[in-house]
Amino acid sequence: MKAATIYERGGKVYIHSSSKTTAGVWVINAPVLTVKKEDVGELGRSIRRCLDASSEGVPHPKSFTNLFDPVLALAGVKSFNTFVKSAKCVEVEMAGETATLIPTRNEGAEDGFVPLPGNTQAAVDTDEALGSAAVAALAMAE
């Protein structure tokens, strides 16, 4: 499986790849991108790029302290707590040729983002379809 995460905050969309460590934990990895939500084609291409960079069996980090720093830098904020206050999140999972987009509910910095059951979108035919599905999933996120 491949994974990526999409955040919407302050009118901008941020996307990062995720990879599974040797200990079975998903961690953020490059690329970390920002795109305009209105450009669904570019949004879809960016999601694909992040999914393509996702892998399994990466070394388990010794520290999780600074893993989210690339997203914070793009957003121009200094802490995860500040970033989370006004963010929406959609998790993306890809198995084979099917991408599943899972909207989440923002539970704050301590509890993070909780998947909303039953609210998924799947599309991989074109970059535009994937980008449109991401916009629809962000609209469902709380």
Question: In this predicted model, what pLDDT tens digit does every residue of 65-86 receive, in sequence order?
Answer: 889 999 999 999 999 999 999 9
Of 105, 134, 106, the closest CA to residue 120 belongs to 134
| The predicted structure's pLDDT at residue 123 | 67
Indicate the pLDDT class of residue 9, thresholds 50, 70 and 90: very high
Cα–Cα distance, 139 to 9 (Å, whole number): 12
Give one word for 48, left, alpha or beta, with left for phi > 0 and alpha for psi -120 to 50. Answer: alpha
43-48 average pLDDT score:
96
Q: What does the block give as tokens for 105?
A: 């509910």
Are 96 and 107 spatial neighbours (Cβ–Cβ below 8 Å)?
no
110-136 average pLDDT score:
86
92-105 average pLDDT score:
90
